[in-house]
Amino acid sequence: MPNQNIKILHIDSNHPLLWEQLEQAGFQNEADFTSSKSEIEAKIQYYQGIVIRSRFKIDQDFIDKATNLKFIARVGAGLESIDCDYAEAKGIHLIAAPEGNCNAVGEHALGMLLSLMNKLNRADRLVRQGQWIREGNRGYELEGKTVGIIGYGNMGKSFAKKLRGFDVTVLCYDILPNVGDANARQVSLAELQAKAEVLSLHIPWTPETDKMVNAPFIDAFAHPFWLINTSRGKNVLTDDLVAALESGKILGAGLDVLEYEKLSFENLFIDTEKPKAFEYLLQAENVLLTPHIAGWTFESHKKLAQTIVDKIVAFYEQN
């Protein structure tokens, strides 16, 4: 087989089809899910490819030690855990799979929005507590609203597609020109802020998007609005989000990601006091929180793996 001399190191577990199909294509797979970053660095020169999720960052020191690396494949949508500029300067091909979980993200974003607007989580909790409160759980309809989407790539387009049939106006803003389609009209950021009553973020975390949703950004909206963030937590300044929730400028927030996330968010607050803004989010009835699972469905688990396999195979077929 032409790929039999290409060794790929897998440092995170993934859907088994990824391993199986790479093996069938002739690649040599090796797994190491437990070694430390320094231990991986000590042997990375023996591999032509590495498959990762989010166990640790691929920085310049790592790349310098990966003297034979031809590609880095991340089984996920973003590449922010990789020093992309440095890797590309070293001739390393970067692979991600935003196509693999965009449908899951679109459905999750819509589910969060509908739950918030109809107070489904609050109503469910109160009924379980024996409180049959109808007026206090009166909701809002999505029909007739203007939905603004910032970031109109795979994820944003998926969310817009899900909105078809709700009789809403969908606007999108993106730094790239001519990305609008039949599901969303591309507009300037100023027009989106003037018209939107719902805002959904579908952007990567970059220096340009870091803490983009802050007080001046929020204040620029002409209408109170619902906020959905299934992108990256650091795109939203939580202190300013809480202030907007308290003032009513933001009517409710569905957050699948948080500013405080680290590679292992589960252990973030064990030995430290929770930030006050985070404490507010935990108590707020108009806030819906999920643990970075928007793209984490049973179906997307398989789709992400298949996308990575297809791109690795295509890379070697072209080279």
**CA distances (Å), 289 to each of 112, 185, 219, 253, in order?**
9, 29, 23, 8
What is the model's pLDDT at position 2? 64
What is each CA distance from 35 to 32, 44, 97, 260, in whole angstroms?
A: 6, 12, 25, 26
Nearest to 105 by CA among 144, 149, 73: 149
292 is catalytic: yes
- CA dist 95 and 99 (Å) reads 12
Catalytic residue of the set 232, 259, 273, 285: 232
Annotated catalytic, 261? yes
Q: How far apart are CA 202 and CA 229, in angstroms?
A: 7
Exactly one of 292, 299, 301, 317 is catalytic; which is it? 292
Cβ-based neighbour number of residue 207 at 10 Å: 5
Q: Look at residue 95 in the predicted model and tell me its pLDDT.
A: 97
Burial class (CB in 10 A: 0-12, 13-18, 19+), 1: exposed
Q: In the prediction, which pLDDT does 217 show?
A: 98
C-alpha 183/C-alpha 213 separation (Å) is: 24
For residue 55, indicate whether it is catalytic. no
pLDDT, one tens digit for every residue, the chain (319 residues): 467 789 999 999 999 999 999 999 999 999 999 999 999 999 999 999 999 998 889 999 999 999 999 999 999 988 888 999 999 999 999 999 999 999 999 999 999 999 999 999 999 999 999 999 999 999 999 999 999 999 999 999 999 999 999 999 999 999 999 999 999 999 999 999 999 999 999 999 999 999 999 999 999 999 999 999 999 999 999 999 999 999 999 999 999 999 998 755 556 666 667 899 999 999 999 999 999 999 999 999 999 999 999 999 999 998 7
Tokens coding 126: 């109160």
SS3 of 101-163: the string is HHHHHHHHHHHHHHHHHCCHHHHHHHHHCCCCCCHHHCCCCCCCCEEEEECCCHHHHHHHHHC
CA angle 202, 109, 185 (to 5 degrees): 55
pLDDT score recorded for residue 265: 57
Report the alpha-carbon distance of residue 260 to residue 266 in Å, rounded: 11
Given this model, what pLDDT does residue 116 score? 98
Closest CA to 59 of 39, 76, 75, 82: 82
